[in-house]
């Protein structure tokens, strides 16, 4: 409880870090902020070419099927990859000034979340251009789904960034973990491709129900499965609580180890 009160006191620091991150992320590059949109679009192009024309998946409107899962996936994978360095990169501040250390993962998660929101603009643009339309009744479901994913990503960020301080290898291991995790999640394919008898295990991946929910809302244009959503919420909360516990323990020696 004290932590939350303190984080509230430091809200200006969080928001200024988020602003700095959003503004500074592509500083010095010619296209600047446009990369926020270009990055997912280029990834979309690659996967669409591969899975529509080479390894034909036979999914109708494959690009949209992919895109509605790819954008949330990029948000999640930010926690696994660049997120692992988020404490290391603020070494100077951590060694010299006190502030609740949770500010850093919180700000990073929030700025990645904002980037996802910007990318959603493109999703809607693609839907509009393709003339596929949206299910207005299902659309409000996006809010709880996004919030659940936010909790999950924050939890993963807390865990990964804190452990990386003590074990720098994690940063490199995460590259592989990120790739494996993506192919074990329904990003480039649908859940129908997963063999029946694997499904139970497959659903233990917290990203599975979340991605399925996004796809239900935006691609299938139906409300997401309530039970799956509850499962996602449960798993996300468990990971978040684990992350908070681990982070609070590990942060005590940050200033010494860095």
Please identify, using beta-carbon distances, which residue of 95 and 137 lies nearer to other proteins. Answer: 95
- Burial (CB count <10 Å: 0-12, 13-18, 19+), residue 248: middle
For the record, the structure tokens of 36 come out as: 């926020």
CA 46 vs. chain centroid, Å, equals 20
Q: Please say which residue, 60 or 169, places its beta carbon nearer to other proteins.
A: 169
For residue 249, give the 3-state DSSP assignment: helix
Encode burial over 5-25: b for 16+ CB neighbours within 10 A, e otherwise.
Answer: eebeebeebbeebbeebbeeb
Half-sphere exposure of 236 (CA within 13 A, CB side): 22
Q: Of 211, 223, 243, 196, give the one whose Cα is nearest residue 134.
A: 223
**Closest approach of other proteins to the CB of residue 253, in Å:** 7
11 vs 56, beta carbon nearer other proteins: 11
Query: What's the CA angle centered on 117, arms 63 and 40, to 5 degrees?
Result: 40
In whole angstroms, the minimum distance from the beta carbon of 10 to other proteins comes to 5
Q: CB of 13: closest distance to other proteins in angstroms?
A: 4
Q: Rounded to the nearest whole angstrom, what is the least distance from the CB of residue 162 to other proteins in the complex? A: 14
Which residue, 137 or 252, is less far from other proteins as judged by CB? 252
C-beta of 37: minimal distance to other proteins in Å? 25
Distance CA 97, CA 87 (A): 14
Nearer to other proteins, 11 or 199 (CB): 11
Q: Is the dihedral of CA 178, 181, 183, 189 positive or negative?
A: negative
Provide, rounded to whole angstroms, the least separation between the CB of residue 196 and other proteins: 38
Residues of this chain that bind other proteins (CB under 8 A): 6, 9-13, 16, 20, 92-99, 167-169, 252-253, 255-256
Closest CB to other proteins among 137 and 253? 253
Query: Three-class SS of residue 188?
Result: coil
Q: How far apart are CA 228 and CA 54, in angstroms?
A: 32
DSSP 167: -
């Amino acid at each position: 409880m004290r932590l939350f009160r303190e984080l509230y006191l430091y809200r200006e620091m969080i928001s200024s870090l988020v602003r700095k991150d959003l503004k500074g992320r592509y500083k010095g590059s010619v296209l600047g902020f446009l990369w926020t949109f270009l990055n997912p679009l280029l990834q979309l192009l690659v996967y669409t070419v591969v899975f529509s024309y080479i390894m034909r998946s036979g999914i109708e409107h494959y690009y949209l099927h992919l895109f509605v899962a790819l954008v949330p996936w990029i948000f999640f994978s930010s926690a696994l990859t660049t997120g692992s360095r988020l404490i290391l990169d603020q070494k100077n501040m951590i060694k010299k000034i006190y502030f609740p250390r949770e500010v850093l993962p919180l700000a990073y998660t929030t700025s990645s979340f904002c980037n996802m929101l910007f990318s959603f603009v493109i999703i809607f643009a693609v839907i509009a251009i393709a003339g596929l339309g949206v299910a207005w009744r299902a659309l409000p479901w996006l809010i709880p789904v996004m919030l659940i994913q936010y909790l999950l990503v924050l939890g993963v960020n807390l865990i990964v960034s804190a452990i990386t301080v003590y074990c720098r290898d994690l940063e490199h291991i995460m590259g592989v973990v990120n790739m494996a995790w993506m192919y074990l999640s329904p990003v480039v394919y649908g859940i129908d491709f997963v063999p029946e008898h694997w499904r139970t295990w497959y659903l233990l991946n917290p990203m599975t129900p979340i991605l399925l929910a996004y796809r239900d809302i935006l691609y299938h244009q139906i409300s997401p499965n309530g039970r799956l959503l509850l499962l996602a919420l449960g798993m996300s909360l468990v990971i978040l609580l684990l992350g908070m516990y681990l982070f609070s323990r590990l942060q005590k020696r940050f200033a010494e180890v860095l």
